Structure 1
Amino acid sequence: MFDNKDDIEDVQIEEIICPADIEHISQYVSQDVALIMEDACLFSYTDIDNMPYDTQRIPPQGYDLADAQKEGWTPQLIKALIGSLPDENKLFSGVLCSQLKPIKTEAGQYILKPAGVFCEDKKICAFLNPIASCRTLNGDQWTLLVQFIDKDFKKREIFIPNKLLPKDGSALSELLIDSGLWINVDPKAGRQNLKYYLNQTPKERMVLVNKIGWHGQNYVFPDKAWGKPEREKHKLYIQGTMPLYEEIGTIDQWTQEIGKYLQGNSRLIFGVSMGLASSLLTPLGRQNFGVHYIGYSSIGKSTILYVVASIFGAEVKSWRTTDNCAEAWAREANDNIFFLDELGKAPNASVVSEMLYMLGDGQGKGRANRFGDARDVTKFKTYPQSTGEMSFEDKMRQGFGKRNFFAGQSVRLAQIQADAGQGMGIYENLHGFKNGALLSDHLVKSSLKYRGTLGDAWLSYCCQNYNDVLKKAECYAQIWMDKYPLENGTDGQVIRVKGHFAHIAAIGEMAIEQKLLPLKSGDVYEAVAILFNDWLNQRGGVESHEDMEVVQKLISFIEEHGSSRFENPWNAGEDEQTGRERPNNEKVFDRAGFRKFVDEQYTYYFLSTVFTRDILDGAKGASQKARLKKLADSGYIQTTTEKKEGKDMNRYSKTERIPSHGVKKVYVVRMPAE
């Protein structure tokens, strides 16, 4: 690796990656290494068996890295230690311990060394460095951010709430021990001293935020932030487990192993574009929106989620959860993508119903604190993507807690067939793989190996070109809207969903323009149009959800109950003694109305109470009139016209004399010719 002395003149220890390099470099730097180790009293980890150096040991003359290798030092141990010490990266940066000033407290003087924290020559814990004082924008929840080296020699960070400091130190020490820090368990030498050592105020200040996403023009992740911080850095602080967003590999690897397989596959292009679009929800003032991919098992539905999850290195969650847990997950996915795999695993219909409204509204439940005062309601912006072998309508009708599927829910998560219709599951192009299963297997494995790099590049671009990105997004969205116009009279629900699809199309095209997606200009526009048309077909047209639903309910009710719940009291023949029509006294249980065979087809006379309850879902007023009008306009209900205040008014119900039942108020229904 190093061919001459010039190559290693300014080398940092992080660059040494194998024993051969250590041995090769030692011939040039032996004297320098010995001096630095002597000055720093380096590697004094007497309490850790893996460290081969003694606390007080002074290296002999001529000691170099080759000698260190013989004594047990490996490149991994050296890199771990150097990476765990303060920010400067000189060769053997432990020498910088002389720059850490002693801290005087009422309990004595504390000194931070590479070996740990000492008080009056007593070691109280391993390396533990307070680096910033943090608090929320409201000026409360003061917290200390500390950096330490755990027992695996890894550099870690943890938040320590200041409220733990006034206590006896046990809760504080338990928190740090649980995180992997070595602590002297002697109360006098260890945990009692920790609270004095940590009761300091570092110069650096940070603002705590409780969710990822945009804060000003900065985008914050658990361990990373993009943009130009204002006066103070933003730092994510969530009590409990931090959300997982991994960054593994390079963007070139992501492109080679995942990105190139997007070409020609509309579901993958749409999913990835939607994932990128999720990051701009707050700056563009957009509302929450999601999609639900429906399809049989083993056609690749979950593969879409894993590919999209690789953008930011996120986790794929399951529908097998509670609405409270899903609320926490959604907050952790703020200004980002959120995944729910396999709807069939959801506990029951009531949980699904609550989650649909929560995810669509971007707002959690209202709750009270221990004093009975209202706590801040959780709010978030996210683009959920879901999969399932069943639709939401099917799930709502299933088992305990049955619910209706309403229009508001239908435009919150658009339902799309996962099958692309080419006999290859979700794919239209297998890119040389023998079948879709093999391609899915490759994509899922690759999505776990190469993650987070596309999202990193995308967020870097957005933060560096913040205002231009917002302008372009609006412009490109309008281009897609104009390119694929809707017919006149399209319901507002459809127009609303099309606006979301336009946003997704715009962001995907912008990613192509920045060479972040290996696609041609216009590919995303076309893929999003395919998915939008598939959604319209799945939905049944451009009319309102309520209009289409009431027609479907009427048809389904007659098909299911036409012969069992409708009595036919007509056409039973004449009575031989009286000569009058004899009623047909057939027995019908749970009667919904009557039916009469006329012109080779049955006419159904629904009892008004049954029709209002089972077909109109109990709707009243304007909502009821709108549904009745839809049925009449579609040719299902027979209407009459009457004059009222000089105007012709349609009446949807009639009064009919029913043999052996008298006069009844009914809705007369006749199925129109197909």
Structure 2
Amino acid sequence: MASPENKVVSLRPDAPMVVPDRPCWGVYENWVTNEKSRRLRPGVYWHGFKRSGADDETDEDKTDRPIIDEWIATPVTVAARTTNSEDGSEGRFLRLATESGTKEWIIPMEVFGGSGEDARRQLFGMGVIIALKKRGQFMEYLLDQRPDQVFATTCRPGWHESGAFVLPGRTIGSDKVRYQASGKGQNLFSLRGDLEGWKIEVAAKCEGNPVLTLAIGCALAGPLLSLVGVLGGGVHLVGDSSSGKSLAQLIASSIWGDPGIFAASWDMTKGGLEIEASGRNDTMLPLDEIKRADPKRVQEMAYSLANGQGKGTMTREREGRAKLSWRLLTLSSGERSLSEHAAIGGNSAHAGAELRMVDVNAGTRAERAFDKLHGLAGADFHRLLTVAVGAHHGHIGPAFVEKLLASNDRPGLLKDFADVRAKFTEDNAQAGRVADRFAVIALAAEMAITYGLLPWTQGSALADCQLLYSEWLDRVGSGNAEDRQILAGIVDFIDKHGSSRFSNVDDQTVDAKVFNRAGYWELVGTKRLYLFNKSALTEAASGYGLSRVVKALEGAGALAKRDTDRDSRKTKKYRIPGGGSPRLYVIDSEAIDGEGGSV
């Protein structure tokens, strides 16, 4: 290939003639012959004249001077100018002809403000060879190019503002948008094997296994989230060690790339987690082994993943760096639930965090995490699928997006989601958010079945998601999640401290054995009512304000007595042993148990 300044006259197929408009640059991807019949190997050239040394040289004299063809580098063509969609920064789109094949790379214009050493180092790493004494001239060549074509670039995978879906090395839906790598990180979205092999050896074995079909649907649902208006979040596979949770994550990871690279771990900082999430935007983030996460920060990390917004930071010049952002579903796993792991660090469970990372039973099914082994022993089933996802991966995710873009039916997609969502019932807004998540997972899997990408019976993926959603509802019960958490905390507090921090309010003498008093108790018939002081009540429902705790107790009908001298009274005045008449909150723990507070 020659640069636009040159004329190429084909003399013979293996070495066409070029007639450069000297002085100029030239780029050739094959052998060529110059106007003096000198053969030139492929590469970037400076076509000029030898210097005569005369100061009064005329243009006519120059045409008679000996010509020179300086080899600068292996073929590097500046094919387009680029503009980054996130920050507006410009670059150049390079096409590299290397011994291992043609490659693409985007060089930021900012590198020309320095020596360009880092850029040349990366080019060498990709197979480009630059003459050592021509390094500066090579940078001049790149800077001199002014191609007419302009590409948009982005450093984040997923949906682009143009409507294209961008992946490293591939853009679906546009030939004018490219992914711009920000460093030397591994390519998460690699390909191996083929789609048919994955369908036969992996997907077919997953049918009849709700945990596995959920994992696949979770991976495919990423591109749908923004299109149907569902917020991010995740599902957390809970089960004993070696139950099959990790296999589900490997299978889900194979939707987009090499499972060994695409899958991530909870064992990282919150900042690292944000980078991993942003690097998988509009796809899925698999996080293995929650026990590796910091118990003190795991709930905060769950909130961050679901909200899709990283923490703002500043440069040394005190300028704000752009926040990382993403929208995806997280597929987590662990032997403990999110709240159980947080409790290890001394933190009480936050209902909001648990709703953003919903527990799914992946340990006590018919075959631990599985329901159907397709005639195989458990170990053989696990081994067969593990080998299969290593041999075939990275195909179905992009194929799903291709089909989605080809259908180009946003109204129809919204209607389909509404139809599926109607099959997931809920009794409050919080359960509704979880229902949204299960519904979009089911929709993605059912769409893939319709597209012919999953060899499953139509409706089977929806039935599996409905089953797992109903199991979740049965575990957590109905009603508001914060109410359940508050009531459970109060019941636990009574179980732990009922005999050590409470005493009979009708005793005539002070019970000296009670330290750090939480209140009193009184018998009404055969029922014991607990009379909490204000500080103990907020201690029992750690993380919630007093008014919120009282609201939950009222909703459960657990405030057994109150004074009636004022409508707003929630307390009752008692005369206590040793003197004094404090106002106390009178709680019927049996009423709380009836509301599911002990769950």
Cα distance between partner residues in 1 of 2:126 and 2:451: 41
Partner of 1:566: 502
- The CA RMSD measured in Å over matched residues stands at 2.8
Q: Deviations over 1:75-125 (max 9, x none)?
A: xxxxxxxxxxxxxxxxxxxx7xx67x85866xx654535443344444333
Q: Is the 8 A contact 2:502 2:514 kept in 1?
A: yes
3-state secondary structure, aligned to 1:524: helix
Q: Is the 8 A contact 1:218 1:225 kept in 2?
A: yes
Matches within 5 A, 1:161-180: 161-165=108-112, 167-180=114-127
Task: Verify: 1:312 aligned to 2:237, yes or no.
Answer: no
Cα distance between partner residues in 1 of 2:11 and 2:565: 104
Residue 166 (structure 1) shift: 5.0
Residue 321 (structure 1) shift: 0.8
Cα–Cα, structure 1 residues 167 and 613, in superposed 2: closer, same or farther, change >3 Å?
closer
Matches within 5 A, 1:197-276: 197-199=141-143, 200-215=145-160, 216-229=162-175, 233-240=176-183, 241=185, 243-276=187-220
Residue 342 (structure 1) shift: 0.8
Q: Deviations over 1:590-638 (max 9, x none)?
A: 22223456655644322222113333645144x344223134x1xx432
Q: Is the 8 A contact 1:473 1:503 kept in 2?
A: no
Q: Deviations over 1:527-584 (max 9, x none)?
A: 010111122133x21211111111111111111122222234756xxxxxxxxx5x36
Q: Is the 8 A contact 2:158 2:283 kept in 1?
A: yes
Partner of 1:116: 43
Partner of 1:495: 432
Cα distance between partner residues in 2 of 1:138 and 1:457: 26
What letter matches 1:640 in structure 2?
Answer: R
Q: Which of 128, 140, 143 is the matching residue for 2:76?
A: 128
Q: Is the 8 A contact 2:253 2:263 kept in 1?
A: yes
Cα–Cα, structure 1 residues 603 and 226, in superposed 2: closer, same or farther, change >3 Å?
same
Cα distance between partner residues in 1 of 2:189 and 2:543: 44
Per mean C-alpha deviation after superposition, the further-off stretch among 406-415 and 255-264 is: 406-415
Cα distance between partner residues in 2 of 1:482 and 1:177: 56
Residue 386 (structure 1) shift: 0.7
Partner of 1:367: 313
Q: Is the 8 A contact 2:239 2:369 kept in 1?
A: no
Residue 642 (structure 1) shift: 2.0
Q: Deviations over 1:395-440 (max 9, x none)?
A: 22223xx444323323322222223521x111111001112x3212
Identity %: 26
Cα distance between partner residues in 2 of 1:158 and 1:535: 47
Q: Is the 8 A contact 2:73 2:130 kept in 1?
A: yes
What letter matches 2:110 in structure 1?
Answer: K
Cα distance between partner residues in 2 of 1:147 and 1:212: 21
Q: Is the 8 A contact 2:243 2:368 kept in 1?
A: yes
3-state secondary structure, aligned to 2:590: coil
3-state secondary structure, aligned to 1:320: coil
Q: Deviations over 1:168-224 (max 9, x none)?
A: 4544433323444323223xxx21211122121234321111211122332111111
Cα distance between partner residues in 2 of 1:246 and 1:37: 42
Partner of 2:94: 146
Cα distance between partner residues in 2 of 1:174 and 1:253: 38
3-state secondary structure, aligned to 2:344: coil
Residue 334 (structure 1) shift: 1.4
Q: Can you give the 5+ residue segments of structure 1 that lack an aligned partner in the other structure?
A: 1-35, 42-94, 572-580
Q: Deviations over 1:16-58 (max 9, x none)?
A: xxxxxxxxxxxxxxxxxxxx997535xxxxxxxxxxxxxxxxx
Cα distance between partner residues in 1 of 2:20 and 2:212: 57
Cα distance between partner residues in 1 of 2:534 and 2:25: 88
Cα distance between partner residues in 2 of 1:37 and 1:415: 71
Cα distance between partner residues in 2 of 1:239 and 1:145: 14
Partner of 2:49: none
Partner of 2:33: none
Q: Can you give the 5+ residue segments of structure 2 that lack an aligned partner in the other structure?
A: 1-9, 31-41, 47-67, 594-599
Partner of 1:461: 403
Q: Which of 409, 416, 432 is the matching residue for 1:476?
A: 416
Cα–Cα, structure 1 residues 552 and 137, in superposed 2: closer, same or farther, change >3 Å?
closer
Q: Is the 8 A contact 1:420 1:428 kept in 2?
A: no
Q: Is the 8 A contact 2:29 2:97 kept in 1?
A: no
Highest relative contact order (Cα 8 Å, sep 6+), 1 or 2? Answer: 2
3-state secondary structure, aligned to 1:358: helix
3-state secondary structure, aligned to 1:165: helix
What letter matches 2:519 in structure 1?
Answer: G
Q: Which of 463, 469, 474 is the matching residue for 1:537?
A: 474
How many pairs align? Answer: 545
What letter matches 2:481 in structure 1?
Answer: H
Task: Verify: 1:639 aligned to 2:565, yes or no.
Answer: no
Task: Verify: 1:386 aligned to 2:322, yes or no.
Answer: no
Cα–Cα, structure 1 residues 102 and 667, in superposed 2: closer, same or farther, change >3 Å?
farther
Cα distance between partner residues in 1 of 2:304 and 2:21: 50
Larger-Rg structure: 1
Cα–Cα, structure 1 residues 492 and 387, in superposed 2: closer, same or farther, change >3 Å?
same
Cα–Cα, structure 1 residues 134 and 586, in superposed 2: closer, same or farther, change >3 Å?
same
